[in-house]
Amino acid sequence: MMDTLLINIGQLLTMDHEDGPLKGKKMSILPMIENGAVGIDNGKIVFVGTTAEAMQLQAKERIDCEGKLVSPGLIDPHTHLVFGGSREHEVPLKLQGVPYLEILKHGGGIHSTVRATKQATATELREKARFHLDRMLSFGVTTVEAKSGYGLDQETECKQMAVLKELEDHPVDLVSTFLGAHALPKEYEGRVDEFLQLILSMLPAIRSYAEFVDIFCETGVFTVEQSKRFLLKAKELGFGIKIHADEIDPLGGTEAAVEIGAVSADHLCGASNRGIEMLTNSDTIAVLLPGTTFYLNKEVYARARDMIDGGAAVALATDFNPGSSPTENLQFIMTIAMLKLKMKPEEIWNAVTVNAAYAIRRGEAAGKVKIGRQADLVLWDAYNYLYVPYHYGVNHVNTVWKKGKVVWRREQSCIHI
């Protein structure tokens, strides 16, 4: 007898596409079962079908979903989860119109978080990251990519990466990325290549911590040429590669990502026509982070429509970090993607499940409701998938299952007198 059977699911988003990331038009297909049911045993999915088909099945526990929506656990494929402090003190500067890269140049921004991260103990960093991770889970996210990058020296980078390892006891699955090349420390001014050499020398020690290597390719940080050379060395050592590309200035990072075979190219607000065309003919996944464009108060969003209409695979993420995107709420990102990236709701759901999984090489493990897979599921307080990005800024999650266990449930905490 199976452990749990969910029945009366109004719309069950199975996302059960053929294997591989969804490119172009395929992103608007949303495989679903109406009046669906899902069986769980021993942490795995053992049945996917209609409620009528599930009627003869025996289960220790039957859960009536009352016509609501069920989806795979969401995947956030780009976050900067582990850091010390916060940066609300920079908001007035931002509102006076001081640009993000200007704040960085004067020792604020990422540098300010580097100082706070160096000062924090590993335990403090871990408990703070756990708090943010709990909140991500509350928003229906069951797999998260997390980057280092607030150390810029071996000791602090390893401290961040070790925290991610310790968080393996958390219900959310973590995928780690080394972002030692996130900014240039003051003492390395004018010696960029020397700094990148130093970061490269850390890679053997990072091997046991991280699966991916990333770099911030941006004006005043690392050039396209430096980023390419750096990432190619990381690739030779066996790391998957990712790049913060064309986030603020259009430098040609999108083209570079495709040329060097990056698993994902992230941000892409300033991607050129050629960059977008190259992307559409490649296996590189575009990870778009519209929450960052929103929070940096910019007008120009990534050209998701051109990317998808051209045939690229697009994923969405929060970019959760203390500067350019302080939010754990992937549902809010879904809304921004609908309004500002003009993505269709079907494309959005695929972008936070199947394509997000492929962007972190978890496509064969997460992002679908499929027999044999881990039972990572979300029951939503919504009766259809359109409703979630539509009703914005709140949390629609009712229950989250991770590996078949309930790991989050909406509390009825209003006190009615």
Query: Of the candidates 264, 321, 327, 374, which one interacts with ligand NIG according to CB under 6 A?
Result: 321
Considering only residues 267 through 296, tell me which ones interact with ligand NIG, judged by CB under 6 A.
292
At a CB cut-off of 8 Å and minimum separation 6, what does 335 contact? 389, 390, 392, 393
**Residue 113 lies near ligand NIG (rule: CB under 6 A):** yes
**Residue 128 lies near ligand NIG (rule: CB under 6 A):** no
Decide if 43 contacts 374 (C-beta within 8 A): yes
Residue with tokens 């941006």: 218
What are the angstrom distances between the C-alpha of 229 and each of 9, 182, 233, 234, 315? 50, 15, 6, 9, 26
Q: Which does 84 bind (CB under 5 to 8 A by kind): Fe ion, ligand NIG, none?
A: none
Q: Which does 76 bind (CB under 5 to 8 A by kind): Fe ion, ligand NIG, none?
A: none
Q: Which stretch binds ligand NIG (CB under 6 A): 107-115, 133-141, 152-160, 345-353?
A: 107-115
Residue with tokens 């083209």: 255
Residue count at the site for Fe ion (CB under 5 A)?
1
**Residue 322 lies near ligand NIG (rule: CB under 6 A):** yes
The 3-state secondary structure of 178-247 reads: EEEECCCCHHHCCCHHHHHHHHHHHHHHHCCCCCEEEEEECCCCECHHHHHHHHHHHHHCCCEEEEEECC
**Residue 353 lies near ligand NIG (rule: CB under 6 A):** no
**Residue 242 lies near ligand NIG (rule: CB under 6 A):** no
Amino acid letter at 285? Answer: I
Considering only residues 315 through 354, tell me which ones interact with Fe ion, judged by CB under 5 A.
319
Look at residues 267, 182, 269 and name the one whose alpha carbon lies nearest to residue 230.
182
Query: Of the candidates 319, 328, 347, 376, which one interacts with ligand NIG according to CB under 6 A?
Result: 319
In the complex, the smallest distance separating the C-beta of residue 266 from Fe ion, rounded to whole angstroms, is 6
Query: Of the candidates 10, 270, 323, 367, which one interacts with ligand NIG according to CB under 6 A?
Result: 323
At a CB cut-off of 8 Å and minimum separation 6, what does 69 contact? 9, 10, 11, 13, 379, 380, 382, 383, 384, 385, 387, 388
Look at residues 130, 172, 140 and name the one whose alpha carbon lies nearest to residue 409.
140
**Residue 216 lies near ligand NIG (rule: CB under 6 A):** yes
Query: Is the CB of 111 or the CB of 402 nearer to ligand NIG?
Result: 111
Query: Of the candidates 14, 177, 324, 355, which one interacts with ligand NIG according to CB under 6 A?
Result: 324
* Interface positions with ligand NIG (CB under 6 A): 80, 109-110, 113, 216, 244, 247, 292, 319, 321-324
* Interface positions with Fe ion (CB under 5 A): 319
